Amino acid sequence: MKLVFLGPPGAGKGTQAAGVCMRFKIPHISTGDMLRSAVAKGTPTGLKAKTYMDAGALVPDEVLVKMVGERISEPDCVNGFLLDGFPRTVAQAEALEEIGKPDAVVDVEVPDEKLLTRLTGRRVCESCKGTFHISTLTGTVCPDCGGELIQREDDKPATTQNRLNVYHAQTAPLIDFYKEKGTLRVVDGDKTPSEVFEAIRVALGG
């Protein structure tokens, strides 16, 4: 099963991806995580991506298409994959049609005002990469592994609104792109994580 998770930043795509990947036994490919890891390692891709990411802007299409093309050619993707954060532009979606046409595209929808609260309150564990919200945290370390919790640079208030603007201008047009292909499944992301998971499971017929 080749899946794409569409939806604005903060919609819960990463959280839901973990459960969906376990159920369908496919790897979770988050382009944001791949780019952050490239930045941390100082690779040529990371060096190119960093300025765009810190500004909440999109990294150029050719960088992403090459990175995803290489990743989905790896042996663990023979039975499919879940792409989280890719495609984000029509050009990326057109390239994906050539290299790994998705069977289903799940659009997780959440109103903007909720997204801003979610994003600015999000904390990520440096060790296990788990994501949490300050409203549910009782301590200062990761409740799962005890690792250090940090705020992503692009989750700071100065950048979050720009990321939402970029989503509406460049990524939201993909909703119509996939509606026309007949692969779009819309899910209400403004619910509890388990309710959203159930809705995704039903939408995917699994």
Q: Could you tell me the CA-to-CA distances from 185 to 27, 107, 132 in Å, in that order?
A: 20, 6, 26
CB of 15 to ligand AMP, least distance (A): 12
- Catalytic one among 36, 122, 123, 185? 122
Rounded to 5 degrees, what angle do the CA atoms 65, 29, 164 make? 75
Residue 188, H or E segment: strand 184-188
187 in Cβ contact with 199 (< 8 Å): yes
Spatial separation of the C-alpha atoms in residues 164 and 174, rounded to whole Å: 15
CB of 100 to ligand AMP, least distance (A): 14
Residue 129 falls in the annotated catalytic set: no
Complex with ligand AMP: residue 52 or 132, whichever CB lies closer: 52
- Residue 98: is it exposed, middle or buried by C-beta count within 10 angstroms (0-12/13-18/19+)? exposed
Residue 133, H or E segment: strand 131-133
- Catalytic one among 88, 118, 123, 185? 88
CB of 205 to ligand AMP, least distance (A): 26
Residues that bind ligand AMP (CB under 6 A): 9, 31-32, 35, 52-53, 56-59, 64, 85-88, 92, 154, 163
Complex with ligand AMP: residue 26 or 64, whichever CB lies closer: 64
- Give me the sign of the Cα torsion angle 156, 161, 166, 171: positive
Complex with ligand AMP: residue 101 or 206, whichever CB lies closer: 101
CB of 138 to ligand AMP, least distance (A): 25
Residue 13 falls in the annotated catalytic set: yes
Residue 163 falls in the annotated catalytic set: yes
Residue 118 falls in the annotated catalytic set: no
Residue 122 falls in the annotated catalytic set: yes
- Catalytic one among 2, 50, 71, 163? 163
Residues assigned a catalytic role:
13, 88, 122, 152, 163
